[in-house]
Amino acid sequence: MIKLQNITKQYYMGEIEINALDDVTLAIERGEFISVMGPSGSGKSTLLNILGVLDQPTFGTYLLEDVDITDLSDRELARIRNRHFGFIFQSYNLFPELNALENVMVPLAYAKKPKAERIKRAEELLQMVGMSHRLKHFPNQLSGGEQQRVAIARALANNPTLLLADEPTGNLATDQGKEIMELLCELNEQGTTIVIVTHDPSISLYGKRLVKLQDGKIISDEALKPSAEPAQRRSSS
C-alpha cells in the first residue's frame, strides 16, 4: 500500500546538516497496525509527517498504491492528504469554537460533501466511538479521553487509507489511554491500517509490528506477539 524507499530528510542548524531521517526504507501493507518507537530526536515524528505528506523528503521516493507522489505540488498533496490520511494528535487539535459534531464534519467540508451527508457521517462516527451522547458539547466540556474519541472520529471521516497517531495517549490518564488503545485495536480489527508513534513500551504492545528508530535510521522492524493484557482486552471487546 505504502512504500518509502531510501527516504532522507535533512535540516540545517546554521551550517550544520542534520539528517532527521537517514536512508529509511519502509513498506506498510493494508490492515497493519505498526508501533514506532525511539528516543527523543530519533526521527519518529518526522517519519509520521512524511507518511502523512505533511512534510516532504529531501531525497528518496514515496509510493502510494504504486504511484510516486514524491514530487507532487502542494495542492495535489493536500488533496491526497485529505482523501487518504487521518491524523490523531497528542493535543487533540479540536476547534474550540465547534462542538463535537461540527469538529467531525470539518474534513467532510474540505471534501465538499453535501451538508446532510456531513451530518449523517459525523453522527455515525461519533456513535461508533461512544460519543453519540455528546454531539453538541464543545471541547472544553469534554474530558481528555472524550476529546480524543472525537478526534478519532474526525480522523475517520473520509475513510482514510492510513490512520496516523502521534502519541495519542500522551495527555491521558492511564485508564483513558487504555480505552483509546482498545478503540484503535477495534478499528484495526475492522480493517483500518494504523501507524502509531509512542514513547511508551506498554502502548507499543498494542501494535502487531514494532519499528524502532535511532538517529534517523530504522534499527529494528519485527512482528509483535501481543502481551497477555492487550490480547485479553481485544478478545473481550
| Residues 195-220, mean pLDDT to the nearest whole number | 95
CB–CB of 7/60 below 8 Å?
yes
pTM: 0.89
Q: Which domain holds residue 159?
A: 2-236
Segment 91-136, tens digit of pLDDT: 999 999 999 999 999 999 988 999 999 999 999 999 999 999 999 9
Segment 143-164, tens digit of pLDDT: 999 999 999 999 999 999 899 9
| Domain count within the chain | 1
| pLDDT score at 227 | 55
| pLDDT score at 233 | 44
CATH of the domain at 177: 3.40.50.300
CB–CB of 150/122 below 8 Å?
no
Average pLDDT over the chain, rounded to an integer:
92
CB–CB of 6/60 below 8 Å?
yes
| pLDDT score at 228 | 43
Distance in angstroms (rounded) separating the CA atoms of residues 209 and 220 = 10
In the structure, what pLDDT confidence band is assigned to residue 15 with cuts at 50, 70 and 90?
confident
Segment 21-73, tens digit of pLDDT: 999 999 999 999 999 999 988 999 999 999 999 999 999 999 999 999 998 99
